[in-house]
């Protein structure tokens, strides 16, 4: 089964943002936008929901903090207590000021590293994955908006040319 999509190519990010707004107001469905760099405000112009990755980063930080607290309590209090600088070694709470830097570092470590894996899984960026970029110019200096084609093909091409597209192509996309 195949369906047709329009590839509208732009050479300016401000023109692209304006075109996205016009496209959404004309009730066309934007499949994807390929850009060579992040475009500020594009997610809001496309109507995308806010990301929940920050929540997972916070949860991963809590996991790191719990791991640090558990490992420090086991190593420094229960398993092998040592007299370092005359500090008491029979209570975690009394030694906690000395443990704060380690707890902070493990919180950041867990959050950062687990977020990288989460981002790769969420973006489906597996090792040796073939690139899905439909036009190689979008890695350099052009912006591509992929829109599902429903209705008259000539009207759609004219609409996207009027939005400032430098090139408009109709592609038969395999699903």
* Ranges 8-17, 44-53, 75-84: which has the least confidence: 75-84
pLDDT at 175 over 70: no
Percent of the chain with pLDDT over 90: 59
pLDDT tens per residue across span 19-71: 999 999 999 999 999 999 999 999 999 999 988 889 999 999 999 999 999 99
pLDDT at 114 over 90: yes
Q: What is the mean pLDDT of the chain?
A: 89
Contact 160, 18 (CB under 8 A): no
Q: Which among 137, 54, 61, 144 has a CA at the least distance from the CA of 103? A: 61
pLDDT at 81 over 90: no
Amino acid 1: pLDDT: 38
The Cα angle at residue 148 between residues 146 and 165, in degrees rounded to 5: 45
Amino acid 117: pLDDT: 93
Strands (E), 21-118: 30-34
């Amino acid at each position: 089964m195949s369906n047709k999509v329009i590839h509208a190519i732009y050479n300016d990010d401000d023109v692209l943002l304006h075109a996205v707004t016009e496209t959404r107001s004309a009730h066309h469905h934007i499949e994807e936008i390929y850009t060579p760099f992040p475009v500020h405000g594009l997610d809001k112009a496309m109507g995308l929901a806010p990301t929940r990755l920050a929540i997972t980063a916070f949860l991963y930080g809590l996991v790191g903090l719990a791991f640090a607290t558990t490992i420090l309590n086991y190593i420094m209090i229960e398993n092998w207590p040592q007299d370092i600088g005359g500090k008491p070694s029979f209570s975690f709470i009394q030694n906690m000021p000395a443990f704060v830097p380690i707890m902070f570092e493990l919180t950041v470590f867990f959050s950062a590293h687990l977020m990288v894996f989460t981002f790769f899984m969420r973006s489906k960026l597996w090792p040796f994955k073939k690139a899905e970029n439909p036009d190689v110019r979008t890695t350099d200096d052009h912006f591509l908006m992929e829109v599902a084609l429903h209705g008259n093909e000539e009207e759609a091409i004219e609409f996207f040319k009027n939005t400032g597209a430098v090139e408009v192509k109709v592609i038969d996309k395999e699903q």
